[in-house]
Amino acid sequence: MLLQLIISGILLGGVYALTSMGLSLVFGVSKIVNFAHGDFVVIGMYSALSIFYVTGLVPYISWIIVIPISFGVGYLAYQLMKRTIGEDVNQIFITIGLSMIIQNLILMLYKSDYRAMKSLFDSSIKLGNVYISYESLLAFGIAVLVTIGFLWFLNKTDTGRAMRAVSQDKSAASLMGVKVEKISVLAFGLGISMAGLAGCLLLTMYAAYPTAGGVYNLLAWVIVVLGGLGQVGGALAAAFIIGICETLTGFYIGPDFRQVVYYLFFIAILIIKPQGLFSGIKLHKKVKDEVTE
């Protein structure tokens, strides 16, 4: 049973990883403290739902359409937020406000009902004692694929490298000819696209409702802080920890306690290692002010 739970946790973690890597990107590169990130996840859910109602395309296919929609939403949201860059408190207010606007807009358009997709598959894969549903496996597969693509982009392309550079030193990057504003917008749009994709995939496992964003907002932040602020790799690892944590408590203690347990875990980490689980693992020390060789 334990193995079953851990595997389910990993599968769930793959989707959470998308959300939190997106948030990490938005925070690290665009320098926006985004408390509406979960609501962009929910926009992804409802986009996938609407596409299904209109065209009959299931989320496993429609994610290809949801990504550009989310990018557009992200672009518009950035225009709203860009004046607050550098003012964290204002950003928190504006993004919480945006979160309320999104939740109520969805409420207005779709009513408060829980909406779920009917399962496409009536069986699951059996590997020894472990059952894996096709839904979560497919969602995980797409999440892994996109994550690999994203990491490749970040590490191997000029634009990706510029994003990393901007997150480390904005003005030094502009001295290399990088148009910082353009990179910022792109990173924000990309981060929101990943949130939208996560929403699209989550819809195959969970129901959508207008205020679901609240849960994902905090979840994404917990993961990002656990992984070390602004560190994409750390967020990836932390997502799996939270995913496993969630399935274990869901089974051994009860589904209602899932959040309680990972928040307790979160608080414990903040007390013991406030810089995040993975931020200590750096290959270098900060070299500054040294006078001699």
Partner 1 sequence: MLKINNIASGYGESQVLFDVSLSIPEGQIVSLVGSNAAGKTTLINTISGLNRVWSGSIEFLGEDITKTSPADRVELGLVQTPEGRRLFPDLSVKDNLLMGSYLKSVRGKREKNLKNAYDLFPRLYERRDQMAGSLSGGEQQMCAIARSLMTCPKLLILDEPSLGLAPILIMQVFEIIKDIQKENVTILLVEQNVQQALKLADKGYVLESGKVTMEGTGEFLLHDDGLRKAYLGM
Read off the tokens for 186. 């792109």
249/252 Cα distance (integer angstroms): 5
For partner 1, give the closer residue by CB, 47 or 167: 167
Q: Binding partner 1 by CB under 8 A: which of 133, 174, 259, 279?
A: 174
Read off the tokens for 5. 């739970």
Site for partner 1 in 254-293 (CB under 8 A): 282-293
69/44 Cα distance (integer angstroms): 8
For partner 1, give the closer residue by CB, 1 or 283: 283
159/177 Cα distance (integer angstroms): 12
Site for partner 1 in 49-108 (CB under 8 A): none
Q: Smallest distance from the beta carbon of 285 to partner 1, in angstroms? A: 7
Q: Mask of contacts with partner 1, 187-216, x by CB under 8 A?
A: ------------------------------
Q: Binding partner 1 by CB under 8 A: which of 86, 128, 177, 274?
A: 177
Q: Smallest distance from the beta carbon of 154 to partner 1, in angstroms? A: 11
Q: Smallest distance from the beta carbon of 174 to partner 1, in angstroms? A: 4
Q: Smallest distance from the beta carbon of 231 to partner 1, in angstroms? A: 9
Q: Smallest distance from the beta carbon of 77 to partner 1, in angstroms? A: 24
Determine the size of the site formed for partner 1 (CB under 8 A): 29
Site for partner 1 in 147-166 (CB under 8 A): 158, 161-162, 164-165
For partner 1, give the closer residue by CB, 113 or 169: 169
Read off the tokens for 58. 């299931």
Q: Smallest distance from the beta carbon of 85 to partner 1, in angstroms? A: 16
Q: Smallest distance from the beta carbon of 270 to partner 1, in angstroms? A: 23
Read off the tokens for 231. 């560190």
Stretch binding partner 1 (CB under 8 A), from 29-37, 86-94, 173-181, 253-261: 173-181
Q: Smallest distance from the beta carbon of 287 to partner 1, in angstroms? A: 6
Contact status: 171 vs partner 1 (CB under 8 A): yes
For partner 1, give the closer residue by CB, 126 or 286: 286
Site of interaction with partner 1 (CB under 8 A):
158, 161-162, 164-165, 168-169, 171-180, 282-293
